[in-house]
Amino acid sequence: MTFDPAPVRLDGKTCLVTGANGGIGAATAEHFVALGARVLTTDLGAAFTGDCTSEHRAFNLMTPEGLEGCQHWIAAEVPDVLFNNAAIFDMGSVLDADLAQYDRLFGLNVRAMYAVMQATARALVATGRSGSIINLASQAGHRGEALVAHYCATKAAVISYTQSAALALAPHGIRVNAISPGVVDTPMWDQVDALFARAEGKPPGQKKREVGEAVPLGYMGRPFEIARVAVFLAGDQAQYITAQTLSVDGGSVLRM
């Protein structure tokens, strides 16, 4: 058998990144560009803040108009790769996480995630093209947490939708996978730290230090370490991988 290494580059592919102005989204867009892809980015901001050139549009995926606009954009552009990353975080136990928080978190983390995934899948099927859809889950989606009820549930839903979509789209040559980061050193985690500081009575920065030290590899993840896995799932090296959720967490999955 002749050895035929799969290319690691993404030349000729169009990649869409949602939530592109966050730490993980920006790093992933930068990696896609560096490997030859044409990159589309979207976020609330009017411009892409990452260190590369992308074709950017601002959409508020929490509004009907914003979500519909993004869906029309996807139908016109037909991205080969979707990095479905847009999400928000908030805290609350079942005693105090109200339905307003539920609507916000499920509105973006699940409803918009699903609509963007569906629009990408429909565009690919309509044009007879294969592709790769990568949803961003979380280690929080593999378990419940006392103070993070709604967020954990949204990420569990991401994992479930990833599996269902993978089975439905496999006959069309479309792979659907998810990435479950552990704790990643991004601006979002500074917000998480502040919420834990109030909830647990800890000084700012303490929770962030604690979770980093608890990771078996000894440190919080960095955005580029998630982006590298997204590159793998986007390209031909992962052509026989679908319906999977890859934990990229420094071994934290073993300490749940």
Contact between 100 and 34 (Cβ < 8 Å)? no
Contact between 211 and 183 (Cβ < 8 Å)? yes
Residues identified as active-site: 151
Q: Determine the pLDDT at residue 206.
A: 93
Contact between 58 and 46 (Cβ < 8 Å)? yes
Helices assigned H by DSSP within 141-249: 149-169, 187-200, 206-214, 223-234
The domain segmentation of the chain, as residue ranges, is: 14-182+222-247, 185-220
pTM of the model: 0.95
Q: Determine the pLDDT at residue 253.
A: 78
Fold of 14-182+222-247: Rossmann fold (3.40.50)
Q: Determine the pLDDT at residue 256.
A: 58
CA atoms within 13 A on the CB side of 141: 26
Q: What angle do CA 163, 86, 45 make, to 5 degrees?
A: 160
Over residues 87-111, the pLDDT tens digits come to 999 999 999 999 999 999 999 999 9
Closest by CA to 119, choosing from 184, 165, 159, is 165
Q: Which residues of the chain have pLDDT under 70?
A: 1, 255-256
Closest by CA to 242, choosing from 181, 170, 150, is 170
Q: Determine the pLDDT at residue 106.
A: 98
Q: Determine the pLDDT at residue 40.
A: 98
Closest by CA to 129, choosing from 48, 13, 222, is 13
Q: CA-based diameter of the chain, in Å?
A: 62
